[in-house]
Amino acid sequence: MTVRDMQEEVDAWISQFEEGYFSPSTMILRLTEELGELAREVNHAFGEKPKKATEPEGSVAMELGDMLFVLVSFANSLQLDLDQVFEAVMTKFRTRDQNRWKKKKLRDPDDEKGG
């Protein structure tokens, strides 16, 4: 599935309801809420705070999925094309950060052949 496909599927889902998209301020609040839920799952899975025995099992993947849904919804509500947004941000990173970190050395295929 492409990003465009995701945007179209989310739009089809939300467009079936009278309420439609939430306002930008509500979208930010929803994204913040989902980030908190993701942070909780990451903390339980990888941090120092294991879940209580009484807490239901969660999923980092599902929380990321929830964030993605809200992010796509937010972009759609603002009529932003996420393919264009992503390309613009990657251009920014490629330009601004191209020499920021030490790059990995490329392997010479001849070294692996013993030649």
The per-residue pLDDT for range 91-100, each reduced to its tens digit, is 998 998 887 8
Angle between helices 82-96 and 60-77 (to 10 degrees): 110
Q: How confident is the model at residue 114 (pLDDT cuts 50, 70, 90)?
A: low
Domain annotation covers residue 46 = yes
Q: How confident is the model at residue 68 (pLDDT cuts 50, 70, 90)?
A: very high
Number of domains in the chain: 1
The per-residue pLDDT for range 22-66, each reduced to its tens digit, is 999 999 999 999 999 999 999 988 888 888 888 787 889 999 999
Domain annotation covers residue 14 = yes
The closest alpha carbon to 74, from 22, 12, 3, 15, belongs to 22
Domain annotation covers residue 107 = no
Domain annotation covers residue 38 = yes
Domain that holds residue 36: 3-101
CATH number of the domain encompassing residue 16: 1.10.287.1080
